[in-house]
Structures are given as C-alpha cells and as structure tokens.
Amino acid sequence: MHNILFFGDSLTAGYGLASANTESFPALISDKIKALDLPYTVTNAGLSGDTTPGGLNRLSYWLNQPVDVFVLELGINDVRRGIAPATIEKNLQLIINQVKAKYPAVKLALLGMEIPLFLGAGIAGQFNSIYRKLAEANQMALVPFLLQGVAGQKHLNLWDRVHPSAAGYKVVAELVWPVLKELL
C-alpha cells in the first residue's frame, strides 16, 4: 500500500463540513482511489488556520509515516496575517525540501491559491506567482488555483463565503483528481 499525505490548512481539513471525513476533498479523492482499486491510502493532515510557519513546525510529525505522494496546500492564511509573499515562498520551499530529503522518491503536488488584485496589485501579483514558480522549480504537479469554479459562488460556499460547502468540495475534488491521478 502507498501513502498519500494531504498537508494543508482549513481548505484541506474540510472546515465547517458536517463530516470532513467523508465530504472534504481529500476524502472525495480517497473515494475515487477506492473505486479504481488503486493501492493508496489517503491521510488528511489539514489543520484549520494553519500557515507556512505552522506547517514547518508540524511537518516532522507527519513525515514519521512513509509518504509516497505529498500534496501541499498552504499559504493563504499567511496572506491574511500579513506575511510577505517572499517569506511564504521560502517557507513552502523549506517544506518541500524536508519532504524530498526524507523521501527522495516522493511524488509532489502543489495546490495553489490566488488573491484578487483589488486587495493590492503588488502583493496579489507576488503571491499569485508563488505556486507556479515553486511547481516548476521542484517538478511538482500543480493545480494553479484550488478554488477555481468555487470562489465567489455563493451556492458552493459556507456562510463565510471563504470555505467550500460539501457541494463546493465536489467541484474542488474534480479539479484536483486529474492532476493527482497522473501521479498515481
């Protein structure tokens, strides 16, 4: 059996869902894997509110189990806390470096986020370019914008209009699955 580790924040954890164990996008991906009888188990290491510094602090715990596929989704909470895009990029690279050092044969996927330009074109431009740069530099599979088709769609989000609803996570899973399936 091979292990897939989804490592992220509330978007990975399934914040606000009735059952994150069945409705989060890692759970939906797990269902797809089981339906195809692929030899992979999925671990959801999403932590609501997590940042790239937080991810760095908790990474070693999750790397104590074998990891064959590492799916990274962090960074948007850093922006909300005023962490500079250059620091976010550096921290994400440090996470990637640690994973590759521990498991040199690991397959990597990066789930990108975007912020709207009206929040500040300079910061938005810097932040929005991080994921593509890191994916290219590290030969990682990339989903450029995890919430594509979900962000701004009231019927696909919770009351906070930030986190996907169960219906929104189905859209997210359909976006992530083709990229992940290529790695498997």
| Nearest CA among 62, 21, 26 for reference residue 180 | 26
pLDDT in tens, the chain (184 residues): 999 999 999 999 999 999 989 999 999 999 999 999 999 999 999 999 999 999 999 999 999 999 999 999 999 999 989 999 999 999 999 999 999 999 999 999 999 999 876 666 678 889 999 999 999 999 999 999 999 999 999 999 999 999 999 999 999 999 999 999 999 9
- The encoded tokens of residue 148 equal 């594509």
Task: List Cβ neighbours of 147 (8 Å cut-off, separation of 6 or more).
Answer: 11, 113, 164, 172
Structural domain boundaries in the chain? 2-183
Q: Which long-range contacts (CB under 8 A, 24 or more apart) does 52-55 make?
A: 52/78, 52/83, 52/87, 52/88, 52/91, 52/92, 52/95, 53/78, 53/83, 53/91, 55/7, 55/8, 55/91, 55/95
CATH topology for the 2-183 domain = Rossmann fold (3.40.50)
Provide the annotated active-site residues: 10, 160, 163
